[in-house]
Amino acid sequence: MNMISESQRMEHALRQLASLIRRHAPSDGTHQTHFPSLTLMRATRLSEPLESVYMPSICVVAQGAKVATLAGETYRYDPLSYLVTSVELPISGRIVEASPSVPYLSLKLNFDTDVILDIVQEMNHAHCAPAEACRGITVNKMSIPLLESLVRLMELLNAPEDVPILAPLVVREILYRVLQGEQGALIRQFAIIGSHAHKIAQAIQLINRQFDRRIAIEELAESVNLSTSAFYKHFKRVTAMSPLQYQKTVRLQEARRLMLVENVQASEAAFRVGYESPSQFSREYARMYGRPPMLDIQELRGSIGSTNEFG
Range list of β-strands (E), 86-152: 89-97, 104-110, 137-141
HEC letters along 139-165: EEECCHHHHHHHHHHHHHCCCHHHHHH
- List the chain pLDDT tens, one digit each, 311 residues: 455 689 999 999 999 999 999 999 999 999 999 999 999 999 999 998 888 999 999 999 999 999 999 999 999 999 999 999 999 999 999 999 999 999 999 999 999 999 999 998 888 755 555 557 789 999 999 999 999 999 999 999 999 999 999 999 999 999 999 999 988 888 998 988 889 999 999 999 999 999 999 989 999 999 999 999 999 999 999 999 999 999 999 999 999 999 999 999 999 999 999 999 999 999 999 999 999 999 999 988 877 544 444 44
What's residue 1's pLDDT? Answer: 45
Q: Which residues, at least 6 apart from 223, have a Cβ–Cβ distance to it below 8 Å? A: 202, 203, 206
What's residue 305's pLDDT? Answer: 47
CA distances from 308 to 32, 102, 206 (A): 12, 20, 25
What DSSP state is assigned to residue 127?
A: G
What's residue 131's pLDDT? Answer: 58
What's residue 18's pLDDT? Answer: 98
Q: Which residues, at least 6 apart from 303, have a Cβ–Cβ distance to it below 8 Å? A: 48
Q: What is the pTM of this model?
A: 0.89
Residue 106: closest CA among 184, 20, 9 = 20
